[in-house]
Amino acid sequence: MLTFETISDLEQLPPDDPAQVILREIIEKLNRLAAEEGRQYQANIDGYICLAEPSDIGRTFDEILPGYTLETAPWEAVHMHREFWVAAYVSSNSACTLVLFPDKDWLPDSLRRILCANLVPNIT
Q: DSSP letters along 28-91, please?
A: HHHHHHHHHTTS---HHHH--EEE--GGGTT-EETTTEEEEETTTS---EEEEETTEEEEEEEE
Residues 72-94 have pLDDT tens digits of 999 999 999 889 999 999 988 88
Position 21 in a domain = yes
How many CA atoms lie less than 13 Å away from 42 in the CB half-sphere? 7
For residue 96, count CB atoms less than 10 angstroms from its CB and return exposed for 0-12, middle for 13-18, buried for 19 or more.
Answer: middle
Q: Among residues of the chain, what percentage have pLDDT more than 70? A: 98
Position 124 in a domain = no
Position 123 in a domain = no
On the question of pLDDT at 29 being above 80, the answer is yes
CA dihedral for 102, 22, 67, 75, sign (positive or negative): negative
Position 89 in a domain = yes
Instruction: Please compute the mean of the pLDDT values over residues 3-31 and round it to a whole number.
Output: 94
Domain coverage including residue 46: 2-117
Instruction: Please compute the mean of the pLDDT values over residues 46-71 and round it to a whole number.
Output: 91
Position 34 in a domain = yes
Domains identified in the chain, total number: 1
Q: What is the pTM of this model?
A: 0.90
Residues 44-55 have pLDDT tens digits of 889 899 999 999
Residue 88 · residue 118 · CB < 8 Å: no
Q: Are strands 95-102 and 49-51 parallel, antiparallel or unpaired?
A: parallel
Confidence of residue 123 (pLDDT cuts 50, 70, 90): low
At 117, the amino acid letter reads: A
pLDDT higher at 113 or 92: 113
Confidence of residue 21 (pLDDT cuts 50, 70, 90): very high
Neighbours of 90 (CB within 10 A): 14
CA distance 49 to 37: 19
> Looking at residue 93, what is its pLDDT?
83
Position 90 in a domain = yes
On the question of pLDDT at 122 being above 70, the answer is no
In DSSP terms, which residues pair with 81 in a beta bridge? 84
